[in-house]
Amino acid sequence: MGSISEPNNQSNKRNTKPLGVRFLEYTTKSNISFKSHQAIVLIVTFLAYTSYHASRKTTSIIKSALDPQMPDETQSVSFWRRSSALSWVLGSGWAPFDGSNGTVLLGDLDLAFLFVYAVGMFFSGHVGDRMNLRIFLTIGMVGTGLFTSLFGVGYWANIHVFYYYLIIQMIAGLFQSTGWPSVVAVVGNWFGKRKRGLIMGVWNAHTSIGNISGSLIASYFLKYGWGWSMVVPGLMMVVVGVIVFMFLPVDPESVGANRDEDGLRTRKEGITEHLLSSNTDKEKGSAVGFIEAWKIPGVAPFAFCLFFAKLVAYTFLYWLPFYISHTAINGEYLSNTAAGNLSTLFDVGGVVGGILAGHISDRLDARAITAASFTYCAIPALYLYHSYGHISMSINIILMLVIGMFVNGPYALITTAVSADLGTHRSLKGNSRALATVTAIIDGTGSIGAAIGPVLTGYISTQSWSAVFTMLMLSAFVAGLFLTKLVVAEVAVKCQDSQGGSTGGTPRSGVVEEV
């Protein structure tokens, strides 16, 4: 394992190894094994995307410090009590966000960030395929960390110009778009299809872990000034970016590992079984075009489903701490720090939901049924949280865990296992160079919904948080509707199998093959 196939190429391949890997091999006086490389890939990519989400979460934590507005007037607490409580726990705010249109301006920041992120997503996979992914990911991480920190610099520089924060967020969103295509591509280069469910189910927890760690770090430093809540996570991301540059092996060829010995490249009926082909696999066909990828059966329904699923998920990502701090729980308001810490339970539920959705869909061999079921279950969970979450802390915690599970479950499933299934759809006739494009289409479409949700919340919340939750419930319902045709097809296959009508030749890829 980890041997170099041709001795005369040993020096060239060694030069392509990351410096950290070369240092480890120098100190141990031996080549790192293939499985050790796989472990490094999982750990480094997990840390990388965790830091992406940690830096993305910070703005939701500082919102209440920037805009300490009054809570929803529907809460049964006296005006005097709300005023005195909020002035003590939230502070005086930060211009220009402390005015009557503060939530709207904060929503505009979210829209700018997520819109640029969504557009950048469609191009990042294209650019990443044409340069070293380790370099590409490092540039994205360092750039994201830098501009996240520059947002916080506005605190010490006493900057009150809205367009400063707007431009910073837009550039940060562009750098953020480099993350997902890069980490999926690298993991795909190292792990076979037969391990997809287990690996991606657990590995995808980086999203929720990043949200949790970002919330905790930003909440902790908020008491020293909101600028620290941006600068510290930004600098931490730069450090992780250096780790990526030092240790991330892009693919087995880059470190001289023999992937054939480890069974990574196996073929069945002429279709490649690993997640992504490396850029050197020219014999597997040219890259699938954008329009051609949209025509793959199942891509459009799942992409539009993710549009609405991400709209719900990112509304919670950016506005949950703000909502908690402006809602009395058992008659008491939480501080910004306490609200940020409590909001992490949504992501704890998300970790459980992502793994559970992946496991169930693997066992049932039914991605659409699983995703739709989770999406529909999110509707009553959202209603119960808004209606009864303020009664007591224990009820709030339980319901927050539940909505985290049902909201993030289908989101995680579609962006990982479903994208991988569709990227190796049999209609491609063995061309494995479609997964990056399919992933960009599905997640990019979802990211547009992620941009719309928070900005709509910024406007609607000024009128009523009840209207916000109505919007979220409708979005979850529409997300499930987009999968109706796929669900019917999967149910039909299940009924046929249970009646003994299956001939045994039906492809079992987890996504129905023909719709």
Summary mean pLDDT of the chain = 79
Please report the pLDDT score of residue 272 as a whole number. Answer: 34
pLDDT (0 to 100) of residue 396: 93
Give CA–CA dist 174/122, Å, rounded: 11
- Rounded average pLDDT over 37-62: 91
| Residue 152 confidence (pLDDT) above 60 | yes
Cβ-based neighbours of 198, under 8 Å, separated by 6 or more: none
The residue among 431 and 63 whose pLDDT is bigger is 63
Listed residue (469, 455, 464) closest to 103, CA to CA? 455
Does 432 have pLDDT greater than 50? Answer: no
**What is the reported pLDDT for 239?**
96
Q: Under 8 Å CB-to-CB from 48, ≥6 apart: which residues?
A: 137, 141, 179, 182, 183, 240, 241, 244, 248
| Cβ partners under 8 Å of residue 442, min gap 6 | 299, 302, 303, 306, 414, 415, 418, 419, 422
- Residue 10 pLDDT: 47
Burial profile 137-146: b = 16 or more Cβ within 10 angstroms, e = fewer:
bbbbbbbbbb
Q: Buried b / exposed e across 343-365, counting CB within 10 Å, b at 16+? A: bbbbbbbbbbbbbbbbebbbeeb
Tell me if 62 sits within 8 A of 325, measured CB to CB.
Answer: no
Report the pLDDT value the prediction gives residue 126, as an integer from 0 to 100. 67
Highest mean pLDDT among 94-108, 140-154, 438-452 belongs to 140-154
Q: Residue 392's pLDDT is what?
A: 92
Per-residue pLDDT, 309 = 93
- Least confident residue range of 265-269, 336-340, 510-514: 265-269
Q: What is the mean pLDDT of residues 286-315?
A: 81
Q: How confident is the model at residue 463 (pLDDT cuts 50, 70, 90)?
A: confident
More confident residue, 185 or 425: 185
Residue for token digits 């793959």?
296
Angstrom distance (rounded) from CA 333 to CA 414? 36
User: What is the pLDDT, as a whole number, of residue 69?
Assistant: 59
Mean per-residue pLDDT for 391-413? 92
Contact between residue 24 and residue 262 where contact means Cβ atoms under 8 Å apart: no
Mean pLDDT comparison of 101-105, 186-190, 384-388, highest-scoring range: 384-388
Which residue type does 490 have?
E
Residue in this structure with the two tokens 């909502």, named with its chain if needed: 323
Cα 404 to chain centroid distance, Å, stands at 14
pLDDT of residue 296: 75
pLDDT digits (tens, 9 = 90+) for 349-380: 988 898 888 888 878 888 889 999 999 999 99
Q: What is the mean pLDDT of residues 295-315?
A: 88
User: Which pLDDT score, from 0 to 100, does residue 436 have?
Assistant: 63
In this predicted structure, the answer to whether residue 26 has a pLDDT above a threshold of 80 is yes
Average pLDDT over residues 287-294: 66
The DSSP output letter for 191 is: S
Closest CA to 100 of 373, 427, 459, 505: 459
Q: Is the pLDDT of residue 70 over 50?
A: no
